[in-house]
Amino acid sequence: MKSLTETACPLDLQQASEAAFLQAKTQKISASLSSESTVLDSSVSASANQNIYPAVASPISIEDEQIFEQIALDLLSKGYCVLPKALPLEICDALHFHMVNMPEYKFTEASIGRKLDNQQNAKIRNDEIAWINGESPAGQKWLQWTHALQMYLNRRLFLGLFSFESHFAHYAPGHFYKRHFDAFKGETNRILSLVTYLNPSWEAQMGGELQIYENTGDESGLKVLPEYGTLCVFLSEEFEHEVKPATAHRYSIAGWFRVNTSTAEKVDPPA
């Protein structure tokens, strides 16, 4: 194990200009995305989903550091990153065991945050979710790992990521989440979306792909199978995406890094 601080080096000029590029890209992207007709997932109420046990900083392994660096590089060059077997196996196993053993009452029907009734919501998504607040050892491991990623990306790319919220999602066979953005500029402060999968033996014919679209005209998209430990990270305001129906139960975790938009009048997240 090598600690992050031991390997820290000051950002050089090239890194600084890469980071400026990413920020400019994020701004340009978000300016071009406001469209009323598009589905937006803004279901998250910051106050309701705060982690009750704050993640503590812990040293990261060389393997994790390599993964974090790959995410940073892909975000800079493409705005998204898809990495198979990226989440450490020990964390996958803990989360998988925890999720499949969670009692049904812990899950609630997901909604999309617009003022829609349950029936309208169910036409857009019909998965069930449970927020991860760090009550369980598995949830804590996950929050520590994502916190380390948050710190790495902040240092490497100056993203100013301030908080993280995430939930387990269970898609029963045939269930889906139609094409949507996770964030729009002006409506939310979600910056980066992160998804990982907890399906130990997924096969292509089972379907259930996450389809990530490059732009609004893109109809084919990049297809990601929900395989154990695959990690997808993408700019929330840039990439529309959708979850295709599967023939088997599909387990995932979706999370969002947010920036702090507090002002003197409005504290974010609300107390």
Residues forming the site for Mn ion (CB under 5 A): 182
40 part of the interface to ligand OGA, by CB under 6 A: no
Q: Any contact of residue 132 with ligand OGA (CB under 6 A)? A: no
To the nearest whole angstrom, how small is the minimum distance from the Cβ of residue 161 to ligand OGA?
17
Subset of residues 237 to 256 that bind ligand OGA, contact rule: CB under 6 A: 241, 243, 252, 254
Smallest gap from Cβ 41 to Mn ion, in A, equals 5
Q: Coil, helix or strand for 130?
A: strand
By a kind-dependent CB cut-off of 5 to 8 A, residue 210 interacts, out of ligand OGA, Mn ion, none, with ligand OGA
Q: Least separation, in Å, of the C-beta of 256 and ligand OGA?
A: 8
Q: Which does 195 bind (CB under 5 to 8 A by kind): ligand OGA, Mn ion, none?
A: ligand OGA
Nearer to ligand OGA, 18 or 199 (CB): 199
249 φψ region: left (φ > 0), alpha (ψ -120 to 50), beta (else): beta
* Terminal Cα-to-Cα distance of the chain (whole angstroms): 37
Q: Round to whole Å and give the CA distance between 20 and 135.
A: 37
Q: How far is the CB of 99 from ligand OGA (least distance, A)?
A: 13
Q: Which is nearer to ligand OGA, 188 or 252 (CB)?
A: 252
The answer to the question of residue 41 lying near ligand OGA (CB under 6 A) is yes
Q: Tell me the CA distances in angstroms from 34 to 185, 234, 259, one per residue in order.
A: 7, 18, 19
Instruction: Indicate the DSSP class of residue 105.
Output: G
How far apart CA 230 and CA 175 sit, in angstroms, is 20
State how far the Cα of 239 lies from the Cα of 232, in Å rounded to an integer: 12
Shortest separation between residue 251's beta carbon and Mn ion, angstroms: 16
Residues counted in the chain: 271
Nearer to ligand OGA, 152 or 197 (CB): 197
Residues 172-211, one symbol each (x = binds ligand OGA by CB under 6 A, - = not), give -----x----x------------x--------------x-
Token digits of residue 113: 């945050």
Strand partners, 128: 109, 170
For strand 128-131 and strand 163-171, is the pairing parallel, antiparallel, or unpaired? antiparallel
**How is the beta sheet containing 222-224 ordered, strand by strand?**
177-180, 241-243, 210-212, 222-224
How many amino acids of this chain bind ligand OGA (CB under 6 A)?
10
Q: Which of 4, 40, 143, 169 binds ligand OGA (CB under 6 A)?
A: 169
Binds 140, which of ligand OGA, Mn ion, none (CB < 5 to 8 A, cut-off by type)? none
Contact 109, 43 (CB under 8 A): no
Q: Which residues bind ligand OGA (CB under 6 A)?
A: 41, 169, 177, 182, 195, 210, 241, 243, 252, 254
